[in-house]
Structure 1
């Protein structure tokens, strides 16, 4: 077992981030139940104010249900570019203050403050960093400080809203003990239900379970869960590196003017790259199509778009650009597609544009691709195209897009 005794980790999470940004630009929204997300009756809640949460509303809930619970709620369609701007500002502040940090979503960060207690004091340093973020952005933010990522994240949840909490070394286990098992980050609805069936509702019960029993019931996840319940988490901070683009190219063995073949390949590429975006919890704001002709002259055309990882939108834009760029009288040697201007936080931002039905469809398709490969689910148009499967460039960087996180 790897001990986290030498570590000091801070977890920072912006409170109701999208709602808080909207309130910066419209103070009339203060102290009111506010919902950010899809504005149609088929839309989904991406973020909600604490006033709305008192009615039982949470992110990922169908907007229709939320409005039934709180008819007086104010519904706002999200502005992804505005939220990304504030996220970038906060990222730069944290980058200036700490040598090692991890950005897990548009509004959530971990930072390693190990060793700082000898020179400055970790709690004081985290507090001053939080104060600087509030001062320079006007946004509320909470943090938890402890010896590992799990305990720090749980502490943040207990500190909210707009507060801070330290769990000193040696007190991790008693701090966690009285809390519900669903407070542990890796426990979702399905795992929570399984634990409840085992008679485990609070973390102290899980702490007392024999490790072999948890392993038998849940495999490796059971072992990891037991360790986290006991305040042990060796997970490292993954240094923040923003990937700016992802792309695919295909060079033909024989130059072609087959328009149907080219159009089919563009669709297949867009579909594959969109899946990679969702797996990396990313969104793109720029699409670029590239064509190299038989004379080796290469041309590109790009278009800025609202942030998205939606297959349908990205395919339509890709086809539109290809149609404008392609000169039918010339043989094509290579075709490429690139999605750039990437930002994180897709699991929330995509809720602005997608209906509950479409989200469930993407969830189902992506689960099939995760299990059986990216070619497991394809549009009928691309069935004859060769596999575009490759290693996902975002692996290990972030959770899948549709794993809704309750803020």
Structure 2
């Protein structure tokens, strides 16, 4: 534990939803929910205006719609979220070189590793002001002598605040909090503690380490007792090593056609390989995740002879793993991942040779000699591309040759409704409706959040 509050935890406020509100003048001050919009979609982020109605992250989207039917429900736009995140992380780097990102919108910063000129509180206030000036968004900050307390302080600061935990005040902050506040206390541990009559952090401390060890085991009990006393000596670790890269999709209706399952596995494998290459990494173990119609979840993995970032190798391995799983009853979710990451790629010449042979002779590798050959599968055509109406999803950025930049408010029955506005507009933009196949309408890149005000008289 440090004697001064020089560990900073920053958390952007309702990040995805806040970016959408900043991008769309008509949504400012109104409830916004971002996430999957299908029947099985899940809330990623809800604005504070939606949270007052009970909407929160990880909630089923269908439930959110019942709680807050008048909210704007939008698909995520990860491209602009990453762009804003890069701006925020660059501002953090100006404060200290020792940054531990936790997600796009959250990070720890060790102020002692930087040029700490002045009081930590002043540094935090200046940082929050710089973020607001650069992005138009707000951030909540906690300052403390440990990561545990800084994280809790930033939660207390929400929204758009700063909480500093001065030395000697740790127990005053921790004691009244529920046990779930502490790291490592999930639903099962919380229930175990509840049965023992332990509901708050103060009661954890009062129980004593021997009793916690008896209830939870040596490692967990001792760790929990230390955290309840505010003790946490974990350092801020920059560039935490990512252990795996994966992608997954949940489908609105169960997939029962094996050809469709194969097509989706191929698509996910391509996306996973793209992320690998984008991160400059390669991996040795390919993992496939399959959640079936009855919610049973299976994972299958295969370790390669050498790290790879080759999309063909990832795809072939993922397809082979998926084929070994019985999916005839239906599939709710599919995922493809790669673990055992490395910073280099050692090309597997044998795999490449086998792939070349298969491309030259589709029957090669299915057996040899005069034995019976497995029937050769005919190439499977991918499922037909969705109708254009399905591609106009609420929140997407579009451009019209006459009316300029805007975003999709909704679509259906052959029509798409677009609101034409950009972040710099002072007033909400106008709404117009088009046929879904209008050639003048196209997808567009998200506009920058900051910049000079747009001229008056936009359509």
Question: Cα gap change, 1:48/1:393 in structure 2, threshold over 3 Å: closer, same or farther?
Answer: farther
Moved beyond 3 Å, runs of 4+: 3-7, 115-119, 310-314, 317-321, 357-362, 388-394
Partner of 2:276: 339
Measured against aligned partners, the alpha-carbon deviations of 1:175-215 in whole angstroms (never above 9, x if no partner) come to 11112222224333333222222222211111211101112
Write out aligned runs for 1:173-252 (5 A).
173-219=171-217, 220-240=219-239
Cα distance in 1 for partners of 2:88, 2:293 equals 29
The answer on whether the counterparts of 2:153 and 2:164 sit within 8 Å (CA) in structure 1 is: yes
Partner of 2:340: 391
Measured against aligned partners, the alpha-carbon deviations of 1:325-346 in whole angstroms (never above 9, x if no partner) come to xxxxxxxxxxx99722249xxx
Write out aligned runs for 1:126-141 (5 A).
126-141=124-139
For residue 42 of structure 1, the aligned residue among 22, 31, 40 is 40
Partner of 1:85: 83
CA RMSD of aligned residues (A): 3.8
Write out aligned runs for 1:90-109 (5 A).
90-109=88-107
- What's the TM-score, normalizing by structure 1? 0.63
Partner of 1:315: 266
Comparing 90-99 with 161-170, greater Cα deviation is found at: 90-99
The answer on whether the counterparts of 1:153 and 1:185 sit within 8 Å (CA) in structure 2 is: no
The answer on whether the counterparts of 2:9 and 2:154 sit within 8 Å (CA) in structure 1 is: yes
Partner of 1:276: 244
Partner of 2:19: 21
1:22 CA displacement: 0.3
Partner of 2:311: none
Partner of 1:398: none
Measured against aligned partners, the alpha-carbon deviations of 1:350-374 in whole angstroms (never above 9, x if no partner) come to xxxxxxx789969x446x98xxxxx
Which structure's residues are more often helix, by fraction? 1
Partner of 2:403: none
Q: Flag the structure with more relative contact order, 1 or 2, with Cα contacts below 8 A and sequence separation at least 6.
A: 1
Unaligned runs of 5+ in 1: 244-274, 284-309, 322-335, 344-356, 370-374, 395-407
The answer on whether the counterparts of 2:17 and 2:33 sit within 8 Å (CA) in structure 1 is: yes
Which structure's residues are more often strand, by fraction? 2
Unaligned runs of 5+ in 2: 249-260, 281-290, 302-316, 326-336, 344-459
For residue 171 of structure 1, the aligned residue among 162, 169, 172 is 169
